[in-house]
A = this chain, B = another copy of it.
Amino acid sequence: MVQIQADARGTKAHGKRREILDAASFCFRERGFHATGMRDVAARAGMTVGNLYYYFRNKEELLGFCQEETLQRLDGLARELGRSGLPAAERLFLLIEGQVVCLNEGIPGSLAHLEIPESEGAKGDRLRKLRDRHERRIRRLIRQGMTEGAFRELDPKVATLAILGAVNWTVRWFRPEGGASAREIGRAFAEQLVRGLLAEGEPFEAPDDDDIPIHGEDDDE
């Protein structure tokens, strides 16, 4: 079977792959990876299942690309925040907010995007590295907050897991047509999760997110 190159540069093929990835992301989000069939994805992308295999080698590869996209976006967000020079607590706030927006606006994220099975190979290693790096960044931020005196003494790992749990789980219930935008939810979550770390008597004010471009399109909702 002829299959297109993974690094297709052709505008048309690239656009097609984009469409497929969108469709896959949507399906994975709605039904999970295992309950999503390739025929589902194909149907959503407006093609036949055989055609889908012209663009992606198999289901696993499809998921891998979805995962990479998501993790790259989170990575980019964290990098920009890293350059902001804000105190750790505020950076953490914006990172939480940004992640909620990342996962719930524009191209949908799903839990499948964030879970990488142990046995995967080189690609899996790369993805796991990306994912773990993200987690380490949050831990580092928490540790910095403690160093700066903003946060109380606590285990950064556990706190990170609480944050990631709350944030990642948003994909299960957030709906764009709901009452609140992803940004609003993100801010409320960040408020709760960051305040929960504060040292006794430590004041905190939620930072503006105007100067930090949160990936997830415009705010003119």
| CA A159 to CA B165, docked complex, whole Å | 13
Question: What residue of chain B has the Cβ atom nearest to residue A34's Cβ?
Answer: B34
Chain A, interface size category, equals: 20 to 34
* Contact of A169 with B165 in the complex, beta carbons under 8 Å: yes
Tell yes or no: A168 within 8 A of B by CB: yes
Chain B residues lying within 8 Å of A24, measured Cβ to Cβ, are none
Query: A165-177 CB contact bits vs B (8 Å, 1 = yes)?
Result: 1111110110000
* Contact of B159 with A188 in the complex, beta carbons under 8 Å: yes
9 further A-B pairs in the complex, CB-CB below 8 A; given A158-B188, A161-B170, A196-B197: A155-B180, A158-B189, A162-B188, A162-B192, A165-B166, A165-B168, A192-B197, A195-B197, A201-B201
Which residues on A are within 8 Å of B, measured CB to CB? 32, 34-35, 115, 154-155, 158-159, 161-170, 172-173, 180, 185, 188-189, 191-198, 201
A-B contacts, 18 of them at CB < 8 A, read A32-B32, A115-B172, A154-B188, A154-B192, A155-B180, A155-B188, A158-B185, A158-B189, A162-B166, A162-B193, A163-B166, A165-B165, A166-B169, A191-B196, A192-B197, A193-B196, A195-B196, A195-B198
